[in-house]
Amino acid sequence: MSNSFLTRRNFLRTGMAGLVGTIQARPYAQGFTSPFLPSYVADVDGDGQLTNADIQTAQRAVMTSRGFKLTPNTGFDFRTDVFGRGETNQAAIDAVVRTIEHLGQGVPEIPRPIIVAWHYGWHDVRQRPLLQQTVRYLEGNYLSADPNVEEGFNQLKNETGITVDAIGWIPPRITPTILPNFRSGYFSAPNALTRHVALLYENTIALPTIGGRIDFRSPTTRKLLVEDFAAMAGTLIEARDRYQTRVFEINSRPVIFIFGSHSWCLNQEDDSEFQILSNSISEARRTFLSAYGKLPYLVGEELLQMAATEKPHPNRVSRARNFDALYSYHCANLKTSAKTFSITPAYSALQQLRLVRAVSAMKDLRNRFTGTRLLIIPSLAGGFAKHGLPTLSTTGPAYADFLTRLNHYYINTYLRGEWFNLLGTPQLPAPIYTVGSWNEEYEGHAVLPAQFNLALKDSQLQGFDFALAIKQVFGWNHYAQRNIPGSQPIPS
C-alpha cells in the first residue's frame, strides 16, 4: 500500500468527504440521511481502489437478499450489502455510485479499519448450563474442536467485517483442552488462510491472584509470566509456520492483548512492586524474542484507568508504559448498583469523553522499552449481559449509531492529530478497534451468534444485528484476500 494517498493535501481535500458516511450513517442508523459511504465501504470488490469495477460489482447483485441462515442465499454477494441490511437494492447501488463520483477514482484516503474480536476455544461440551450461556450458535451449541464450525465462523467473520481473531490463550497447566481445541478446530479450518491471529492472554486466570489482583513481588508469579510468554510465542509460531493462518502484527511485531492488566500489582502504592513488574515484563519480552524472533506488541487493558481521572496516579502511568498500546475489554464499566443501561447518544458521548480524557492523559506517554508513543485502541463492544450484573442493552440501529460516532472521533480527531503521518504504514496499518467477543457465551457482548444475546433487544435481523451494524460502518473484511502492511503476508 502506497503512502502517497496520505498526503496532508489529499486528506484535507477528500478526508472529510470520505468521512461523511462515517459521521452520517446510512439507512439503518437513526436520523441520518447522507447518500455517501465511507470510501472503504464503497470499495465493494475490496481491491483497495475505487473504480468502475466496484460499481459494476454492485450492479450485478441488485435485488438480492442474504437470508439469515449461516450460509447466504444462492446468488447473494455479501460485498454489495453496503447498508448492512442483508440485501442489495437500488439505493445501495446509488450510494456506491454517488460516493465514487464524489471522491473520484483511486486509493481510498482512509484504509479500511482493522476490527478485532475475541475468539474462545473452551467449549468442550454441547450442553452448557444456562447461567453460563447468553448466546448460542445459530444451529445449536457447538464444540471448539470442530473445524467445520470454525470454517462457518470464518465465513461469517469475513462477510461481516471481523479482521483479526484474538484467540483466548490460557496455559495448559490451567486448562489443558484449550490449545488442543484451537489446533483441531480453529487452526485446522479449511479457510484458515483468510484469518489473522492475535492472542488474548487470560492472565487473571493464568496467574495467581489475591483479591482479584496479581502480586508481582512473588517469584512464582514472575516465573509463570515468563513461562507463559515463551509458550505464547510457541502458539504464534504454530499459527505462522504450521497452519494457514496469518499472524496479525503491528510494526512487524505479533500482537498480544492482555486481559485485566490493570490488576497487575497487589500493592498499588508500592513503587518498588511496579519496578519489579517492569523488570518482569522486560524479561518476558526477551524470552518471547528468543523464541519467536520478534518482540511482542503488547496491548494492555488500561484505557479506562487512564481516563478515570484528570491526572492518573504515577504508578498507573508506570504500569501503562510497559505496553505498546492500550485498550479496554469493553466500555460498559457498569456499576453493580445500577439495573439496566442502554446504548444511547448520551452513552456514546460518555465513551467519547473517556477517549478524550485518555488521549489527554497519554499524550506524553512513551513505551519504556522503545520510546514510542502508546497507541489507543478503542473498544466498540456492543453490550454486556453477565448474569448478576446490570445489563448494557442495545438494538442494531443504536449500535450502528454508536460505532459511527466513535469511529468519527477516533479517525478525524485522534488519528489525524496524533498518528496521521503513520496511518497506512506498518506502525499503524489502519484504524484499529476491538468489538468484544465473537463466540463468548458468558458476558453477553458476542457479535455473532447473537440471536439469544441478552444484551440485544428487539432484533430486527434475526440475530445478525450486531454483525451487520459492524459491516454497515466498516464494510466486509477486505483483508481476507489482501495483506495488512507489516503483518504476515498471504503465501505466494
| Percent of residues, the chain, with pLDDT higher than 70 | 90
Find out whether 158 and 200 touch, Cβ atoms under 8 Å. no
Pairing of strands 87-88, 64-65: antiparallel
Checking if the pLDDT of 182 tops 50, the result is yes
Instruction: Give the pLDDT of residue 331.
Output: 67
Q: What would the grid cell of residue 131 be?
A: 447461567
Using DSSP's 3-state secondary structure scheme, residue 366 falls into strand
The ranges assigned to domains in the chain are 4-103, 114-480
d(CA 164, CA 479): 9
Find out whether 208 and 214 touch, Cβ atoms under 8 Å. yes
Beta bridge partners, 471, equal: none
* DSSP letters for 137-150: -TTS---TT-HHHH
Instruction: Give the pLDDT of residue 10.
Output: 35
pTM given for the model: 0.92
Note the pLDDT tens digit of each residue in 8-21.
223 333 333 434 43
Rg (CA), the chain: 21
- Quick one: DSSP state of residue 298? E
CB atoms within 10 A of CB 225: 23
Give me the phi and psi of 482, to 5 degrees please. -125, 160
Q: Which residues contact 97 (CB under 8 A, 6 or more apart)?
A: 55, 58
Instruction: Give the pLDDT of residue 456.
Output: 83
Q: Compute the mean pLDDT over every residue in the chain, rounded to the nearest whole number.
A: 88
**Fold classification of 114-480 (topology level):** TIM Barrel (3.20.20)
d(CA 91, CA 98): 10
Checking if the pLDDT of 311 tops 90, the result is no
Task: Give the mean model confidence (pLDDT) for residues 156-171.
Answer: 97
Using DSSP's 3-state secondary structure scheme, residue 54 falls into helix
List helix spans (H) across 87-131. Answer: 90-103
Nearest-CA neighbor of 430 among 490, 477, 470, 481? 477
Q: What would the grid cell of residue 179 be?
A: 490449545
Q: Which range, of 4-18, 227-241, 270-284, averages the lowest pLDDT?
A: 4-18
Find out whether 402 and 455 touch, Cβ atoms under 8 Å. no
Establish whether the linkage from the previous residue to 378 is cis, with ω within 30° of 0. Answer: no
Q: How far is CA 189 from the centre of its chain?
A: 21
Note the pLDDT tens digit of each residue in 421-459.
999 999 999 999 999 899 887 777 788 866 667 788 888
Most confident of 32-41, 247-256, 306-315: 247-256
Q: Which range, of 15-24, 184-193, 285-294, 399-408, averages the lowest pLDDT?
A: 15-24
Note the pLDDT tens digit of each residue in 68-102.
888 999 999 999 999 999 999 999 999 999 999 99
